[in-house]
Amino acid sequence: MNQHQTNADSGLPSHDRRHAGESIAAFSLLTGDDLYLFNEGSHYRLYDKLGAHPCTVDGAAGTYFAVWAPNARQVSVIGDFNHWDKASHPLQPRGESGIWEGFIPRVGQGTIYKYHIMSHFNGYQVDKADPIGFFHERPPRTASVVWPLDYAWGDREWMAERHRRHGLNAPIALYEVHLGSWMRVPEEEHRFLTYRELAPRLAEHVTRLGFTHVELLPVMEHPFYGSWGYQTTGYFAPTSRYGTPQDFMFLIDYLHQHGIGVILDWVPSHFPTDEHGLGYFDGTHLYEHADMRQGIHPDWNSFIFNYGRNEVRSFLLSSALFWLEKYHADGLRVDAVASMLYLDYSRQAGEWVPNQYGGRENLEAIAFLRRFNEEVYKSFPDVQTIAEESTAWPMVSRPNYVGGLGFGLKWDMGWMHDTLEYMSRDPIHRQYHHNLLTFRMLYAFHENFVLPLSHDEVVHGKSSLIGKMPGDDWEKFANLRLLYGYMYTQPGKKLLFMGGEFGQWREWYHEESLDWHLLQYPLHAGLQRWVEDLNQLYRREPALHELDAQPSGFEWVDCNDAPASVLSYLRKAQGTGDLLLIVCNFTPVVRQNYRVGAPRGGYWREVCNSDAHDFGGSGHGNLGGVEAAPIPYHGRPYSLTLTLPPLSVLVFKSGSLGR
């Protein structure tokens, strides 16, 4: 029998004679190499070494504990098993590494615990949750729970093939979800659905709508539910609000088995100041900067990680790889990257510290982000990393070796802001703001973009997406169908926040379920059918995704018809000759005999029309397609004479049969 043997059973053999208060300090999971790599900032699997690990030592079942607290005078494990007695189970320091460790018999799965830390400084004492705890009590309780991560995965087929689903030439349509408010149980005081209850419901909905992935707002444990997960304390634990770690594994496994990828939001930019969390961990600024001009985020009143500290880098990079390895996540979307890149982010003059060259760039954070992407893609080349970066920082989604940050994709916040500003205007004024739609093509291929209509745009008084649209109810829904059609035919991957698929009227509120009852009304049901149709079109037509990141995949036909507020453009596939013509009419006027240039003759089939009756439209269109006439127009040898429905997007395919 191996000396270290994982054992999920928290009990002991009946013949064991050890006392509950006896600690076996000689046992360790840490090798000399582990300590060197950790202190050097290059240990990326800390979750295998630190934290709480149920195991058997010399025939005794118990748990090995290890925690980093270099400025502690004493560290002990306290919990329900020893009546929270801080003198009962002290840990032992491991040389000069700053790690305290020990094995405690008769402690196993389900044991509630914290670390009691006595600092060398100012007599400071505090009870802390485990920074690398795999499970925590349900908030508002704050203790950690001993918990193994055993799980029998059933997603082998997905994992073997997912590299095909994450390339820049693949269709990626993300459905952004907050698990606590997507759907609740009204018959039971509107309680949360558990991870296991969510699995079949979410899989069925996402499959029906045709999204390729879900992107989950942070599931990592967070004490304040109203933070939506962005105030993380448990960087190695899914929130216990919805179940156990295995329950969350089941959710991801279930989605994978139904052909749906899972992207997790991950927050290395800041962490909350809650006493049980990472802040002032051992009586010193251990995880955060000691200089509060660098260690406190002024907008969120939260701590900022010290990216220049080796052990902190090991901690964060281990967290990133943990979700990819242990939970089979298909990618990580990194929140608030801009706040990491700039030392003066949201700070006035005199409130920030320049870098060694006198600049505002956070060199340590830049090095960390590059290392993060290097290690993720080295260990998991078939996943995606996504940056929420709101500035013009160059080459966010370009490889490190050419000077980039190394992300796979970047949110196009400029597209989102410009497009929503344009769409919120009364159509009569849109002709004067045409550049809000056309400007993007000057930079559209500088990065590998995601076009996001995210949760941030439907909160804090900004109104819902349908609420932003001008006009009466019919015009609002026509505008929203137009917005979605425009997004799905523009270069870039797609992201839509939950509730947008059926046009929820009210802003998203994390304490309530989505307004699913709205689907009984024709305009809402029609909008959801439109989203289904767009996802099918996007996935079916290579021209809409194969060259998303290449200029050769897009070509303007006419971007200058501002007086009519009409745009027309081509989308192209690679090497196959597949060609789509898209025409968008941003006014509520039916435009008859509207001529658009075409590069080919023959029949152009109308494969998509947002004004169809089935989607809640008025039914105007082109009777299924149009024959191109040999009349040069827009610098092309052929042209089509079209009927443009009001507030609509039309998609035509060249050479299609079925005339």
CA distance 583 to 557: 9
- Position 576 scores a pLDDT of 74
Residue 139 belongs to some domain of the structure: yes
What are 106-149's pLDDT values in tens digits? 999 999 999 999 999 989 999 999 999 999 999 999 999 999 99
pLDDT at 25 over 70: no
What would the DSSP string read from start to end of 18-82? --TT--BTT--S--HHHHHHHHHT----GGGTSEEEEEEETTEEEEEEEEE-TTEEEEEEEEGGG
Give the pairing of strands 591-598 and 638-644. Answer: antiparallel
Residue 45, domain CATH? 2.60.40.10
- Position 11 scores a pLDDT of 33
3-state secondary structure of 142: coil
Residue 342 belongs to some domain of the structure: no
What are 255-288's pLDDT values in tens digits? 999 999 999 999 999 999 999 999 999 999 999 9
Task: Determine whether 388 is an active site residue.
Answer: yes
Task: Determine whether 614 is an active site residue.
Answer: no
Domain boundaries, position 51 = 32-145
Averaged over 496-501, what is the pLDDT?
98
What are 99-109's pLDDT values in tens digits? 999 999 999 99
Do 63 and 53 contact (CB within 8 A), yes or no?
yes
pLDDT at 21 over 90: no
Confidence band (pLDDT; 50, 70, 90) for 13?
A: very low
What would the DSSP string read from start to end of 239-308? -GGG--HHHHHHHHHHHHHTT-EEEEEE--S-B---TTSSTTTTSS-SSB-SSHHHHEETTTTEE-B-TT
Residue 614 belongs to some domain of the structure: no
The β-bridge partners of 569 are 556, 582
Residue 24 belongs to some domain of the structure: no
Averaged over 156-180, what is the pLDDT?
97
CA distances from 397 to 392, 401, 417, 439, 463 (A): 12, 12, 20, 20, 31
pLDDT at 2 over 60: no
Residue 492 belongs to some domain of the structure: no
Q: What's CA 354's distance to the chain center, in Å?
A: 31
Number of domain units in the chain: 1
629: DSSP letter:
B
Residue 561 belongs to some domain of the structure: no
Catalytic residue among 335, 418, 501, 533: 335
Residue 240 belongs to some domain of the structure: no
List, in sequence order, every beta strand (DSSP E) within 449-500.
449-453, 493-497
pLDDT at 15 over 90: no
- Position 6 scores a pLDDT of 37
What are 333-380's pLDDT values in tens digits? 999 999 999 999 999 998 999 999 999 999 999 999 999 999 999 999
pLDDT at 1 over 80: no
pLDDT at 458 over 80: yes
pLDDT at 658 over 80: no
What are 583-601's pLDDT values in tens digits? 999 999 999 999 999 999 9
Scored b (16 or more CB within 10 A) or e, 309-326 reads bebbbbbbbbbbbbbbbb
Residue 178 belongs to some domain of the structure: no
Token pair belonging to 309: 């500290």
Give the pairing of strands 648-654 and 602-609. Answer: antiparallel
CA distance 99 to 94: 6
Averaged over 453-460, what is the pLDDT?
96
- Position 23 scores a pLDDT of 56
Average pLDDT in the chain: 94
Polymer length of the chain: 659
Confidence band (pLDDT; 50, 70, 90) for 575?
A: confident
Catalytic residue among 34, 221, 330, 388: 388
Token pair belonging to 207: 């499959």
